[in-house]
Structure 1
Amino acid sequence: MSEIRPTSSEPAQILLVEDNPGDVRLTKEAFKQGRIENDLHVVTDGHEALEFLAQREAYEDAPRPDLILLDLNLPRKNGDEVLEELKGDPELRCIPVIVLTSSKAEEDVVRSYELHANAYLTKPVDPDEFIDAVKAFEAFWFRVVRLPTEGNES
């Protein structure tokens, strides 16, 4: 089966903001099994995520992500703070953000959408279900949804 790429010939740039090494490993495995050619970049806290997005310090050569997977329970800056800063920035706000978290709390769901998350997914506990969930949203966001191209932010 051939690889599927986003609308351009370049691999999809995905930023995973996750501090749990087990979830990072499962997400990498899911994307490896998926059919979308991608470059998965991982940062482990909210401050690092914002540095990556602003291309500051160690991330001055970081690519602009096509999609962000954001955990809520992060050190230094939590996911809500990252989401608020990201969606408040006119240059970054059009990047789709999927909240991928273990929280099933209704207030977290509501708050994430109030902060303009594009989707909210609760991480399945079962590793196989987790991998299936990642593969499903990968297919949706890169084969079904039309994403803005860099340079067309307005």
Structure 2
Amino acid sequence: MLLWAYTQKKQSADHDKKGLPIRKDAQKLLKKNHYLAAETARKWDVESAAFYNRLIKIGLHHNQAMCALARKCSARNFALMKRIHNSKNNSVPEQDTTLTYIFKDQNGKIIESKKAREIVLEKYPSKKSLQKQKQRTTALN
């Protein structure tokens, strides 16, 4: 698993020290691509949006939540690459081993990407969209 961005820990018996910096131990291009993939996943994937929203609600900063989501996405990518590698080694060379991203709702039911985007926009709206809605309602009143 790629451990490229993680928060430093300083703990004693029942106390965690807050406000420690995020460590960044990896190549810049790799970090950038994982961050961008996490940003896209946050906007399109229901599970990723729920994970990000949960982290924001407990008080993490956007960058901390994005690093956690990017780390989760990198673990998924590693598992996918491993599965592709194993399937290429174990299968007949003529077989097509393409894997596609599957969107699922909160119950694990497979859905289309457009439906996933609708669910994300409905259940996990961004701060900007909430501000726009608030401005519209105040302008109408």
Give the TM-score taking structure 1 as reference length: 0.22
Give the TM-score taking structure 2 as reference length: 0.23
Bigger radius of gyration, 1 or 2? 2
Greater fraction helix: 2
Greater fraction strand: 1
